[in-house]
């Protein structure tokens, strides 16, 4: 039995170590996928790969996904096969199951020469050679060799000694070596910090106390999760949705299906009904969708550890799109994940209505990617930003606007000033999009338009988001949210045109609009308080026409007041139509 104060200190120190590793990595990384987009995670695992702690605030779909890599390496090397200051690098899809840009760096932690765990980081390098999927080329990629450099559990440092050959091979086969070799240094430094901090804890309290505390912490997390699940009525709940296609095979929608079984405090999320693996790069090997959904429902504010998922069973058969077999292409591995998470929520919307909002935009950002060469400096540049979209209306209020997806937590857009300091572009506007939010008693949040002018020639990535056939849905009578899209206006043309093209070359002075999706509405829009509709009209979130069309609320053109009798008539007519 551990004394409660020691337990409390260890309980809070373990996530603090992971967070300190994350802060270090984020502050010293060289690419915005890490420092702004937070496309990384840092973690401590035990020697079996069970998650001791993970940083808070990074991308959620990295939740507890490193264990398989440790299971694999321990099986290969044996528990006695590791030395102090070994540093491993891996991104191989056979086990890691994500796009090759996600480079995992980890170090074994030896306490008194006995392996006790691993300090790990996974981070999105800006480029990994091949077709440059990290910058949005994933739809073009048909296999892992085309995608880039494959590194299969290699020691970049062996007992502290750099493997110069491996280092040179990596450096010479990627496009932005100064950036990625900087990230490599930052990842290794973060791992060293994690190793040192965990050893300090072991030295201070002893292995037995630390390990018993970790077991206790797992059990506590499990218990808290079980309590929430037990409050959901037992049953089998299902929902379905669609992702347009895999970008390679047109008109072949990807089915997403979730079957959620609640039995007492146990939950099973069965994704067997999802599509089989595809020719295009939407494949992955990931439990992320089920885990993100479960975490959000059970213990959204608590630090994550392996115990957070003890009471969750996830079923994904081999050969399915989220359990694809090597060498399936995985360049766009995470694109469908937010939609899968929303589909799991949708399944539970009837059973646990108070926990579930309507669908959010469901996309990993309105992704701004423009690459070129800056004539002022003659250096290659990459413009990147991820823009948020609308979230669904809630059981008790409107959805938030312009926020990143359920998988992206603390991911930030890039400030306009920062983009313009670093790259030759002008951001002409970043604005909320009127009438985009799904109508409902509680309105969906708004999507946004970002309009960017490139001052020099270059290539824009404008791969259209694949949610046109299944836009963000409403719940309980709420309407769907507006969709996402790219528009291009070349320098010499007059109008913007919708575009679906990867790495489209454009001349200087062209403009692109990056449009993000919006949230679905919650509840019947005819039940929305007309005063709130008037407020929305005054703020420009809803147009005068939209107020009448979507909410049956008549407002005078001066936006002074709701016309009550006209509103009653409009709503009554709408209800009659609905009843018929």
Partner 1 sequence: MLFVAVDIGGTFTDLVAFDQANQRLYSAKRLTTPDHLVDGILNCVNASGLALTEATQLIHGSTVAINTLIERKGARTALLVTKGTRDVYAIGRGNRPDAYNLFFTRPKPLAPRAAIYEIDERLLAGGVVRTPLDPADIEAAAKQIAAEGYEAVAVCFLHSYANVAHEEQASAILRRALGSRYVTASHEIMREYREYERISTTAVNAYIGPKVSGYVGSLEGSLRDSGFRGELSIMQSNGGVMSPEIAAKRPVMMMESGPVGGIIACAQVASALGHSNSISFDMGGTTAKASLVRDGMPAMAEGYYVGGYESGDPVMIPVVDVIEVGTGGGSIAWLDEVGALKVGPRSAGSSPGPICYGLGGEQPTITDANVVLGRLDPTTFLGGEMKLDLDAARRGIDEKIAKPLGLSMDAAARAIIDIAIAKMSLAVRQVSVEKGYDPRDFALVASGGAGPLHAVAIARELNIPTVVIPWFPSHFSALGMLLADERHDAVRTFPAPLDTLDFKALAGAVAELEGDLRSMARQAGAQIEIFLDLRYVGQEFNLSIPVTPQQIAAQDRVGIRAAFDELHQARYEHNAENEPVEMINLRLIARAPRAKPSMPTPGGSSAPARKRDAIMHAGPATSCDVYERDALAAGALIHGPALIQEYGSTTVVFPGDRCEVAATGELVIHLAK
Residues between 157 and 216 that touch partner 1 (CB under 8 A): 178-179, 182, 185-186, 188-189, 192-193, 197
CB of 23 to partner 1, least distance (A): 9
> How many angstroms separate the CA atoms of 178 and 376, rounded?
20
For residue 403, whether the previous peptide bond is cis, meaning omega lies within 30 degrees of 0, is no
Phi, psi (deg, nearest 5) at residue 162: -65, 135
Q: Residue 331 or residue 447: which is nearer to partner 1 going by CB? A: 447
Tokens of 398: 């409107």
Binding residues for partner 1 restricted to 539-568, rule: CB under 8 A: 539-541
Q: Select from 254, 340, 356, 363 the one that contacts partner 1 (CB under 8 A).
A: 356
User: Considering only 114-122, 234-242, 278-286, 402-410, which stretch makes contact with partner 1 by CB under 8 A?
Assistant: 402-410
**Is residue 1 near partner 1 by the rule CB under 8 A?**
no
CB count, 10 Å around CB of 27? 11
Q: Does 323 bind partner 1 (CB under 8 A)?
A: no
Q: Looking at beta carbons only, is 273 or 395 nearer to partner 1?
A: 395
- Least distance (Å) from partner 1 to the CB of residue 570? 25
Helices 4-28 and 207-230: angle between axes, nearest 10 degrees? 90
In whole angstroms, what is the distance from residue 574 CA to residue 572 CA?
5
CA angle 395, 63, 444 (to 5 degrees): 25
Closest approach, Cβ 565 to partner 1, in A, equals 26
H or E, element range at 322: none
For 104, the 3-state DSSP assignment is: strand
CB of 335 to partner 1, least distance (A): 18
Residues near partner 1 (CB under 8 A), total: 77
Toward partner 1, which CB reaches closer, 99 or 394? 394
- E strand residue ranges, 152-282: 154-158, 161-162, 235-243, 254-263, 266-270
Contact 383, 397 (CB under 8 A): no
User: Using the rule CB under 8 A, is 510 a contact of partner 1?
Assistant: no
Is 278 near partner 1 (CB under 8 A)? no
CB atoms within 10 A of CB 134: 30
Question: Among 90-98, 162-170, 385-393, 572-580, which window interacts with partner 1 (CB under 8 A)?
Answer: 385-393
42 near partner 1 (CB under 8 A): no
Task: Name the residue nearer to partner 1 (CB basis): 188 or 214.
Answer: 188
Spatial distance between the Cα atoms of 199 and 202, rounded to a whole number of angstroms: 5
Task: Out of 114, 227, 538, 575, point to the residue binding partner 1 (CB under 8 A).
Answer: 538
Q: Give the residue, chosen from 75, 421, 577, 579, that forms a contact with partner 1 under the rule CB under 8 A.
A: 421
Tokens in use for 427?
């951001």
Candidate segments 41-49, 240-248, 350-358, 486-494, binder of partner 1 by CB under 8 A? 350-358
Which residue, 92 or 361, is less far from partner 1 as judged by CB? 361
Q: Which of residues 425-484 bind partner 1 (CB under 8 A)?
A: 426-432, 448, 451
Residue 373 in the binding site for partner 1 (CB under 8 A): no
The region of 69-77, 153-161, 395-403, 505-513 touching partner 1 under the rule CB under 8 A is 395-403
Asked whether the beta carbons of 497 and 513 are under 8 A apart, the reply is no
User: For residue 384, which phi and psi values (nearest 5 degrees)?
Assistant: -140, 140
Q: Are residues 447 and 482 in contact, defined by beta-carbon separation less than 8 angstroms?
A: yes
Task: Restricting to residues 14-33, name those near partner 1 by CB under 8 A.
Answer: 16-17, 20, 24, 26-32
Piece in contact with partner 1 (CB under 8 A), picked from 90-98, 396-404, 507-515, 519-527: 396-404
Min separation Cβ 359 and partner 1, Å: 11
Among 65, 86, 222, 387, binds partner 1 (CB under 8 A): 387
Locate 261 and state its tokens: 């079984």
351 burial (CB, 10 Å; 0-12 / 13-18 / 19+) is: middle
Query: Closest Cα to residue 316, out of 365, 371, 276?
Result: 276
How far are the Cα atoms of 35, 280, 343, 353 from residue 257, in angstroms, in the given order? 34, 19, 7, 19
Whole-number Å distance between alpha carbons of 422 and 233? 53
For residue 39, the minimal CB distance to partner 1 (Å) is 13
Question: Shortest approach of partner 1 to residue 140 CB, angstroms?
Answer: 26
Longest pairwise C-alpha distance within the chain: 81
CA 122: distance to chain centroid? 14
Q: 47 vs 426, which CB is nearer to partner 1?
A: 426
The one segment of 9-17, 167-175, 251-259, 519-527 that binds partner 1 by CB under 8 A: 9-17
CB 11 within 8 A of CB 212: no
DSSP β-ladder status, 266-270 and 312-315: parallel
Question: Of 153 and 405, which CB lies nearer to partner 1 in the complex structure?
Answer: 405
End-to-end CA distance of the chain: 67
For position 368 contacting partner 1 by CB under 8 A, the verdict is no
Q: 46 to 85, contacts with partner 1 by CB under 8 A? A: 56-58, 60
Let me know: does 336 contact 254? Beta carbons within 8 Å: yes
In angstroms, what is the minimal distance from the CB of 40 to partner 1? 13
List binders of partner 1 among 282-301 (CB under 8 A).
292, 295-296, 299-301
Q: How far is the CB of 375 from partner 1 (least distance, A)?
A: 15
R_g over Cα of the chain: 25
Q: From the list 71, 152, 212, 400, which residue makes contact with partner 1 (rule: CB under 8 A)?
A: 400
Is the CB of 417 or the CB of 492 nearer to partner 1? 417
Q: Which stretch binds partner 1 (CB under 8 A): 106-114, 394-402, 484-492, 495-503?
A: 394-402
Tell me which H or E stretch contains 25. Answer: helix 4-28
Contact 468, 483 (CB under 8 A): yes
Instruction: Output 78 or 397, the one with its CB closest to partner 1.
Output: 397
Closer Cβ to partner 1, 329 or 519, answer by number: 519
> Judged by CB, which is closer to partner 1: 34, or 66?
34
């Amino acid at each position: 039995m551990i004394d409660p104060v020691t337990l409390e200190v260890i309980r809070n120190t373990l996530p603090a170590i992971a967070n300190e590793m994350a802060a270090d990595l984020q502050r010293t990384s060289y690419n915005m996928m890490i420092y702004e987009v937070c496309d990384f995670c840092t973690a401590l695992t035990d020697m079996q790969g069970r998650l001791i702690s993970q940083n808070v605030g990074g991308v959620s779909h990295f939740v507890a996904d490193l264990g398989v890599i440790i299971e694999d390496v321990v099986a290969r090397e044996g528990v006695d096969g590791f030395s102090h200051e070994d540093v491993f690098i891996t991104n191989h899809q056979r086990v890691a199951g994500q796009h090759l840009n996600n480079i995992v760096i980890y170090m074994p932690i030896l306490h008194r020469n006995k392996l006790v765990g691993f300090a790990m980081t996974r981070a999105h390098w800006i480029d990994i050679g091949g077709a440059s999927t990290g910058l949005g080329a994933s739809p073009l990629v048909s296999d892992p060799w085309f995608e880039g450099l494959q590194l299969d559990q290699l020691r970049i440092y062996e007992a502290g000694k750099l493997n110069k050959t491996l280092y040179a091979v990596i450096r010479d086969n990627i496009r932005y070596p100064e950036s990625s070799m900087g990230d490599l240094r930052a990842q290794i430094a973060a791992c060293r910090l994690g190793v040192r901090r965990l050893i300090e804890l072991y030295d201070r309290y002893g292995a037995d106390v630390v390990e018993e505390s970790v077991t206790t912490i797992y059990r506590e997390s499990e218990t808290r999760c079980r309590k929430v699940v037990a409050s959901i009525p037992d049953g089998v709940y299902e929902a379905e949705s669609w992702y347009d296609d895999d970008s390679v095979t047109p008109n072949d929608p990807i089915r997403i299906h979730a079957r959620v079984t609640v039995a007492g405090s146990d939950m099973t999320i069965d994704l067997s009904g999802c599509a089989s693996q595809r020719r295009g790069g939407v494949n992955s090997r990931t439990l992320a969708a089920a885990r993100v959904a479960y975490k959000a429902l059970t213990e959204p504010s608590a630090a994550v550890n392996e115990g957070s998922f003890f009471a969750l069973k996830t079923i994904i058969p081999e050969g399915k799109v989220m359990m694809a077999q090597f060498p399936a292409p995985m360049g766009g591995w995470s694109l469908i994940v937010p939609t899968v998470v929303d589909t799991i929520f949708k399944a539970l919307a009837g059973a646990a209505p108070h926990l579930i909002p309507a669908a959010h935009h469901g996309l990993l950002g309105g992704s701004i990617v423009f690459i070129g060469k800056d004539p002022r400096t003659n250096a290659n540049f990459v413009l990147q930003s991820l823009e948020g979209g609308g979230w669904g209306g809630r059981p008790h209020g409107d959805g938030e606007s312009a926020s990143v997806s359920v998988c992206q937590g603390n991911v930030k857009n890039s400030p306009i000033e920062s983009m313009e300091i670093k790259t030759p572009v002008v951001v002409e506007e970043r604005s909320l999009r009127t009438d985009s939010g799904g109508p409902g008693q509680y309105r969906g949040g708004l999507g946004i338009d970002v309009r960017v002018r490139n001052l020099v020639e270059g290539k824009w990535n404008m791969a259209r988001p694949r949610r046109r056939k299944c836009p963000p849905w409403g719940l309980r009578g709420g309407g769907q949210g507006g969709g996402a899209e790219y528009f291009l206006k070349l320098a010499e043309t007059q109008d913007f045109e919708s575009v679906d093209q990867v790495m489209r070359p454009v001349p200087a002075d062209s403009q692109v609009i990056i449009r993000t999706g919006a949230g679905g509405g919650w509840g019947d829009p005819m039940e929305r308080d007309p005063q709130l509709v008037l407020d929305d009209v005054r703020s420009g979130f809803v147009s005068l026409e939209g107020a009448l069309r979507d909410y049956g609320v008549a407002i005078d053109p001066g936006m002074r007041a709701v016309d009550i009798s006209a509103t009653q008539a409009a709503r009554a007519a709408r209800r009659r139509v609905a009843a018929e």
